[in-house]
Structure 1
Amino acid sequence: MCKEIYTMAFLRAIMAEFLATMIFVFFGLGSALKWPSALPSILQISLAFGLAIGTLIQMFGHVSGAHINPAVTIAFLVGNHISFLRSVFYVVAQLVGAITGAGILYLVTPINTRGNLAVNALNNNTTPGQALVVEIILTFQLAMCIFASTDKRRTDVIGSPALSIGLSVTLGHLVGIYFTGCSMNPARSFAPAVVVTRFSTAHWVFWFGPIIGAVLASLLYNYFLFPYSLNVSERVAIVKGTYEPEEEWEEQKEQRTKSMELTSP
């Protein structure tokens, strides 16, 4: 059903998502550790997460799209940008990569500094309901930025998508840390909780909030603000992983014609 999973490009994309999420979690959580010599500031943590995302998008964006976030991957699936199987493989790679990154950080960090490995938690008397709304808003703005800055149909000057998305992550952390430690990414929240085996009763917030926010942004951008002109059969083909854009089909047709001309007697 899904031709793409049998290609080398697909394998490279899965590996890219694994590596990108591993590196992101290592640097992001590492910036939030409470070192006795110097406690991190909110600005420092926010910049670290934002710079990590921007750098990794520049590194892996052309390989896998550099989602680095299950909520973003689900949003791309809802927006008819990727196939169902690709989204499943991406999410698994992201979660395994995140746990690997958190595990490495745990092993190389001195015992007196590890703490709870920057596990997301409700802060400043924030209720689960308030935290859910905050995470929805934070991830909504991130997903909207991703769709808008990577939209190939745009003809205006959009600058660097990596920089724009990195700044969006930074913006979310500058506010979100006060409420929830700022997740915007289920993999980022899940990984340290697994490594230190500390799941709070509000852990669900860090899954539902980002996913709902990203999906809402996808629906708004891809189906209302700037919809794609695809028919039902094309949308189904994208979900199945069998869709070939017309321009790609024409290129393949041209290559086949040239090949036949070269091999003909």
Structure 2
Amino acid sequence: MAGKLRETLGINEITSKKTSIWKTLIAEFVGNLLLNFFGCASCVSVIGIPIPDLVLIALTFGFTIFIVVQALGHVSGAHINPAITVGMMVTQNTSIIKGILYIIVQCLGALAGSGILRAATPEKFHAAGLGVTKLTDPVTPAQGLLIEFMLGFVLVLVVFGVCDPNRHEAKPAGALAIGIAVAVGHLATVDYTGSSMNPARSFGSAVVANIWDDHWVYWIGPILGGIAAGLLYKYVFTAPSTGPLKIIERYTAVVTDEKELKRLDGSKHDINLS
């Protein structure tokens, strides 16, 4: 019983000498730092343009996630988002303690990224919020919650799809697919809620700008969406096993099809001769 509890909580994983939890935590920190610096920088204009380019914002966030997942995915899984981490926790893909540590360093990384952005931005542009996520009037908190739920849902659904161990063909394009999901979310809804998708990203901006209006929306929405998507994928959409038996079945089916094609081709040839 004690051993199972330690495994569920992830104590063995944290204390094991074979795995470096610190390396994974640093990766999550750096990933969120880059996201909040580059992503939120796209929301700031220092050349006097009052309305930021929504396409620029969407592509910057999407491309940043793409490069972070590509660079750090092998280290920590590149969650870079508490909604993804919680989705992984409820489906037992990430242990409880590790998940909690991930969320803490994700928030700290986002805070560091927004802090660096604030230091690098002339003070007269700070009033715009440095990328803080806010509900656009007349969007209500309930509507914002629904938007952020859908954003968390689509992102975590894509993450689970490309990380499915039985879908080997999805792995090469995994980072790109996740980045596109982020870009699509921003293109569709950035003028509703700021398209957070990521509680840590919103937290870092909120701390630096000291703007907390409806901040709970950006935690509850994406996390509930992530939980729903994770459970749906695990219990409904998981790809069938590609173990040895399945490989044999697939090979046998291919060989049978080839024999059938040769037989049909031979029959057709005999008919032409006659």
TM-score normalized by structure 1?
0.82
Task: Note the alpha carbon deviations across 1:134-187, whole angstroms, 9 max, x for none.
Answer: 111111111100000121211445641000000000000001111001110001
- Show the counterpart of 1:246: none
Q: Which moved more, 1:63-72 or 1:3-12?
A: 3-12
Q: How does 1:138-217 map to 2 (within 5 A)?
A: 138-156=151-169, 159-200=172-213, 202-217=214-229
Give the gaps of 5 or more residues in structure 1: 230-265
Distance 1:158 1:20, change over 3 A: closer
Q: In the aligned structure 1, how far is the partner of 2:48 from the partner of 2:31? A: 29
Residue 31 (str. 1) matches residue 42 (str. 2): yes
Separation of aligned partners in 2, 1:135 and 1:157: 26
Aligned to 2:81: 69
Kindly tell me the number of residue pairs found equivalent between the two proteins.
228
Identical pairs, percent:
39
Q: Which residue of 2 aligns with 1:257?
A: none
- Aligned partners of 1:136, 1:102: CA distance in 2, in Å? 24
- State the Cα distance separating 1:3 from its structure 2 match: 1.5
Matches within 5 A, 1:2-13: 2-6=11-15, 7=17, 8-13=19-24
Q: What is the root-mean-square deviation of aligned Cα atoms in Å?
A: 1.6
Distance, in Å, in 1 between the alignment partners of 2:138 and 2:235 is: 37
Task: Report how far residue 75 of structure 1 moved.
Answer: 0.3
- Secondary structure, counterpart of 1:87 in structure 2: helix
SS at match of 2:20: helix
- Cα contact 1:69–1:91 (8 A) shared by 2: yes
Please tell me whether residue 14 in structure 1 is matched to residue 14 in structure 2: no
Q: Which amino acid aligns with 1:28?
A: G
Q: What displacement does 1:223 show?
A: 1.7
User: Aligned letter for 1:79?
Assistant: T
1:89 is aligned with what amino acid?
Answer: L
**Change in 2 beyond 3 A, CA 1:223/1:31:** same
Match of 1:261 in 2: none
Residue 33 of structure 1 aligns to a residue whose secondary structure is: coil
Greater relative CO, 1 or 2 (CA 8 Å, sep 6+): 1
Query: How far does residue 35 in structure 1 lie from its aligned partner after superposition?
Result: 2.3
Q: 1:120 aligned to 2:128?
A: no
Question: What SS does structure 2 have at the residue aligned with 1:119?
Answer: coil
Counterparts of 2:206 and 2:71 in 1: how far apart (Å)? 27
Contact 2:58–2:183 under 8 Å retained in 1: yes
Stretch of structure 1 that moved more, 120-129 or 47-56: 120-129
Cα separation, 1, equivalents of 2:233 and 2:150: 15
On the 8 A contact 1:124/1:178 being kept in 2, the answer is: no
Q: Which residue in the other structure is 1:232 paired with?
A: none
Distance in 1 (alpha carbons) for counterparts of 2:201 and 2:170:
32
Residue 64 and residue 49 in structure 1: after superposition, are their counterparts in 2 closer, same or farther (change >3 A)? same
- Which residue of structure 2 aligns with residue 239 of structure 1? none
Gaps of 5+ in 2: 1-5, 242-274
Structure with max Cα Rg = 2
Deviation of 1:117 (Å): 1.2
* Offset, 1:79: 1.3
